[in-house]
């Protein structure tokens, strides 16, 4: 009987240790997500380029909801929509409409590009021009 009790206590200890490890991993994951969200750069400046030249800059945090129509050098039109501090290509006179299908741009990760009409929308953070440290943020070998 002593052996069975020792085995039972041993199993309870294992269950407790595994549960404690899982709980710690869950808490660490939640903390990591919260820290990443808090440190995320508020992307708020949309820069629109037409034919490789800067067309305009729009502060998405301060801008009201609006649409902007751009005429490209080939005569095609692109309509850009700004709504709820986000930007998207609402419509474009191009064959494939990949830029329209890309949807809303909410961060600095992916630009919106309309290759046939040479229209590009990039988003940068509000403090990019004010940074004192212009060092690299990552290096890939």
List per-residue pLDDT tens for the chain, 141 residues long: 556 666 766 888 889 999 999 999 999 999 888 877 665 545 578 999 999 999 999 998 888 899 999 998 888 999 999 998 889 999 999 888 999 999 998 777 789 999 999 999 998 875 444 444 555 556 666
This prediction's pTM: 0.59
Q: Which residues contact 82 (CB under 8 A, 6 or more apart)?
A: 46, 58, 60, 63, 64, 65, 66, 67, 68
> Is residue 39 helix, strand or coil?
helix
> Is residue 27 helix, strand or coil?
helix
Angle 41-46-48 from CA coordinates, rounded to 5°? 150
- CATH number for the segment(s) 45-129: 2.60.320.10
Query: 129, 100, 127, 128: which is closest to 116 by C-alpha?
Result: 100
d(CA 106, CA 62): 15
């Amino acid at each position: 009987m002593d052996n069975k009790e020792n085995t039972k206590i041993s199993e309870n200890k294992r269950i407790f240790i595994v549960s404690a490890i899982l709980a710690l991993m869950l808490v660490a994951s939640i903390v990591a997500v919260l820290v990443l969200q808090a440190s995320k750069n508020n992307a708020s400046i949309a820069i629109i380029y037409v034919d490789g030249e800067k067309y305009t800059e729009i502060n998405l945090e301060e801008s009201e909801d609006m649409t902007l129509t751009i005429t490209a050098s080939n005569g095609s039109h692109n309509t850009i929509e700004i709504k709820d501090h986000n930007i998207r290509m609402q419509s474009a006179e191009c064959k494939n409409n990949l830029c329209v299908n890309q949807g809303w741009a909410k961060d600095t990760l992916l630009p919106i590009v309309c290759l046939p009409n040479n229209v590009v929308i990039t988003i940068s953070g509000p403090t990019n021009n004010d940074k004192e440290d212009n060092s690299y943020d990552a290096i890939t070998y």
